[in-house]
Amino acid sequence: MLNFTKQGTLTLLNGSGRVVWSSNVTRRVQNPIAQLLDSGNLVVRDATVNYYLWQSFDYPSDTELPGMKLGINLKTGFHRSFWSWKSSNDPSRGDFNWAFDPRGFPEPCIMNGSIIHYRTGPWNGRGFATAPSRQPTPHNIYTYVSDPEEIYLTYEPTDSSIITRVVMQQNGILQLSVWNNQTQNWDNFGRQPTDNCDFYSQCHSYGLCNNGISSLCRCLDHFEPKNTTDWARGNWSGGCVRKTTLNCQKEVKFLKYSGIKLPDTRFSWYSQGVNLNTCEELCLRNCSCVAYANPNITATNEGCLLWFDDLIDIRDLGARGQDIYIKLDSSALENSTTGKAMKLRIILPLAALSLLLALCIIWYIRQKKKDQNEGRGMRCFEMFFTRESKDEELDLPLFDFATISDATNNFSLKNKLGEGGFGPVYRGMQKGGQEIAVKRLSRYSAQGTHEFKNEVIFIAKLQHRNLVKLIGCCIQGEEKMLIYEYMPNNSLDWFLFDRDRSSQLDWPKRLHIINGIARGLLYLHQDSRLRIIHRDLKPSNVLLDIDMNPKISDFGMARSFGENETGAMTTRVVGTYGYMSPEYALEGKFSVKSDVFSFGVLVLEIVSGIRNRGFSHPDHHHNLIGHGWILFKEGRSLELTNTHLRESCNLSEVQRSIHVGLLCVQQRLEDRPSMSSVVLMLSSDVPLSVPKEPGFFTGISQSTNADSLSSNPGEPSANKLSITILDAR
């Protein structure tokens, strides 16, 4: 019971009348009232004076609303920050929180305990460099205050009818949402982190992160990898060092680097009234100073930021980025200038010749286009893809942008089905009446051209009732879209992990889904023209048609192999935590047995209705896989079964499915069965071997569990982001 005392204190009482929480108001007033404001702020105040004795906005949970002040009162030390929930059913503080770090030049960070998970970059006068939800928009006005008394950020909507919120999800993703009155749902608009380079210190010191390049990290100009061997393997943790070491006794100069996210400012020094020329002099006079910048893009030459440690967490932002001036040995710059002059003498004549040749080619192409208007779309399609993909004709229509825009009602929010790592997905209706699903590549997507090509090439060549059907694609300018058959029942996780919808999945339907996924994987591994390893099998990538038939989707991470190949090594581990096999997550080895492991996790999740990641048990620290194995060894496998299945399940079928799932998630890939064996075991009464210890099962502590790689105690089904940044070696 929530009680309001005559002294103006809110108290929460349990059934026996004991106080379990109190607003702890110390100041007493004559006529206290408690009031819930239209903003969502619950306040305690004097009825005659608009002075708040206590307000809920000072103690946010996982949600920020307009009008909240997030920051630090420097006089009292009072922090206003918000935290992720511990789990979807436990609103106590989880692992992640959003807070200002007052050290150096203050900037907000998402913290995972004491470790920085993500930082926005410093306030640049208009917004934060890498925070789409913190940029000025037509809907919101942001106010940032930093003075001797307090540091805080707040925002207000320009239109009071627009309802927005920012939620810290359990996996450390900050999601900005706007309420849609038509659909009565929250529509997602921007999140942070948005891509691989947003995660803190991906390229470590003096490394430049660029999500658009294959290697993700490169050293800044005039810097080189500290450990060349590790760097070549994709291990960037050592960072970069100057090619020519700084020496305070020698002449130094500054080189301007543009279009970047300014480095970590926690150990920097800042002065507001210093212009850029004076800032340079200050850095020159201090031997420890390594770089300087003006953080404020709205006030040129008014503000000086100095760094005294290695520059960490730099990324390429292009036009959205800022300038920084880094101290270098003058001899390095002189050698570079001389080398550039020599290169120009060679390059300029070649450039002129290349330009002339390019003009001739353009003229020739235009002449041909005049006589060949038909089939133009397919030529563009062929030009977009590599020669390898053109060896076999892809019978796939190319849609123009206007057609897709009309079908989705100009990508209306009410047509939006959801959003994953690739980008938003919209429902559409073609003029002939066929319903379609349109997956539109987002510019903030962690995936890109390579994944787009993969999806088109693989799905266009694969035909199976348990694989999603690709109807066509759209490639126009920067726009890249994939058009699929529409799945009216959404994805498997939409049903599986929702308390209400999961009851619609009785045991016959779940077994039907398990068998369908198994047959789809068998086709990919053995019966298709290509041997395909999916590498990102999870519930959100299994779609359900109107008859609840499962369709494996999202082949952006897939790899193909020759008839005699079964696997490979990679330094770029892709997929989703909780579904990766041990040898893949830790060593970069992937094979058909990697998909078998993911399938085993899926089976256990389908039977239990519980996510492998985020599972917790009061008696042990293991994940769902470990819990299932413990129950199996004790002869209590059926305890893993979802409560909704007790009336509809066939006990022997459930027990057999759990047994097969545990065989698929065994630690050693040699022990795991092939998908042909899995299909046989699920559809017959052949004897089953006893499963050995599963992957990531330890008797030490949770930190050795593979789930701890993600530091995520649980995630809502709306989050379908695929991780593509793990450097496990």
Question: Catalytic residue numbers?
Answer: 536
578 φ/ψ angles, rounded to the nearest 5 degrees: 100, -20
Residue of 432, 476, 446 whose CA lies nearest to 536:
446
Residues 6+ apart with CB under 8 A from 357: none
Q: At what angle do helices 624-633 and 651-664 cross, to 10 degrees?
A: 120
| Position 572, amino acid | R
| Position 539, amino acid | P
- Give yes or no for a contact between 412 and 424, defined as CB atoms under 8 angstroms apart: no
3 φ/ψ angles, rounded to the nearest 5 degrees: -120, 140
Is 647 strand, coil or helix? coil
Rounded distance between C-alpha atoms, residue 289 and residue 291, angstroms = 6
Number of CB atoms found within 10 A of residue 110's CB: 23
DSSP letters for 47-70: TTS--EEEEGGGS--SEE-TT--E
Beta strand pairing call for 207-209 and 314-316: parallel
Tokens of 124: 């640049």
Rounded distance between C-alpha atoms, residue 350 and residue 242, angstroms = 32
- Give yes or no for a contact between 673 and 600, defined as CB atoms under 8 angstroms apart: no
Rounded distance between C-alpha atoms, residue 626 and residue 612, angstroms = 9
- Give yes or no for a contact between 113 and 90, defined as CB atoms under 8 angstroms apart: no
Residue of 391, 428, 430 whose CA lies nearest to 410:
428
Tokens of 283: 């850095």
DSSP letters for 364-416: HHHHHHHH--TTHHHHHHHHHS-TGGGSS-----B--HHHHHHHTTTT-GGGE
Q: Count the helix, strand and coil residues of the chain and give each as a percent rounded to the nearest 5.
A: 30, 30, 45
- Give yes or no for a contact between 31 and 41, defined as CB atoms under 8 angstroms apart: no
- Give yes or no for a contact between 408 and 428, defined as CB atoms under 8 angstroms apart: yes
Strand spans (E) along 527-683: 531-533, 542-544, 550-552, 559-561, 567-569, 573-575, 589-591
Is 291 strand, coil or helix? strand
Beta strand pairing call for 52-55 and 115-119: unpaired
Q: Measure the CA angle with vertex 452, ends 493 and 261; round to 5°.
A: 90
Tokens of 337: 């200038």
Number of CB atoms found within 10 A of residue 304's CB: 24
Rounded distance between C-alpha atoms, residue 108 and residue 122, angstroms = 8
Number of CB atoms found within 10 A of residue 296's CB: 18
- Give yes or no for a contact between 727 and 215, defined as CB atoms under 8 angstroms apart: no
User: Element (H or E) spanning 283, and its range?
Assistant: helix 276-285
Rounded distance between C-alpha atoms, residue 404 and residue 408, angstroms = 6
